[in-house]
Amino acid sequence: MVRGGFDFEGIRFGATTYKANDALISSVASARAWENDGRSAVLDKAVTITGDGEVGFGNLGDALLGRIHQYEFDGSVTVQDVGYTELPGVSGSLPNAGDFVVVNGSGAVVASVGAIGPARAVSVDAVNHKVMVLIG
């Protein structure tokens, strides 16, 4: 997302491989019926830690771990968990630049209510519902 001449996407990119939780695996399997191999249903979505070495969409208000960079059919996912990345936001719940963000339980981010970081909105595109986030 280019805002005011700055493009933060990918700066300090760092990623780690985690196990996808059952709900994430199910999302891909369900999407296969209507879209290529189903991976696009989860790629570039916001995730949180849901178990021991496991990630998923979580629940509204859970801490943001990062963005799904890659999904593999062996049940592993590569998650960008460091640096700047663009994530989907939710109309009516978009954060302001500088706000801490959390997951909404469906792969997007929303403004945190009372919780703290480390993930923070850097810029917000209210028209396209995109949020540039600095992940811990």
Secondary structure class of 28 (helix, strand, coil): helix
Residues 110-123: tens digit of each pLDDT: 999 887 778 999 99
Q: Which amino acid is at 37?
A: D
Contacts of 6 (CB under 8 A, 6+ apart): 123
Dig out the tokens for 39 from the structure: 């991976």
Q: Where does residue 57 rank: exposed (0-12), middle (13-18), buried (19+ CB within 10 A)?
A: buried
Residues 37-91: tens digit of each pLDDT: 888 889 999 999 999 999 999 999 999 999 999 999 999 999 999 999 999 999 9
Total tally of structural domains belonging to the chain: 1
Tell me, what CATH number does 9's domain have? 2.40.300
- Confidence check: pLDDT of 2 > 80: no
Q: List the domain range (segments joined by +) for residue 103.
A: 2-135
Q: Cα separation of 119 and 63, whole Å?
A: 8
Residues 15-30: tens digit of each pLDDT: 999 999 999 999 998 8
Q: Cα separation of 53 and 72, whole Å?
A: 16
Of 104, 106, 107, 31, the residue nearest 73 (C-alpha): 31
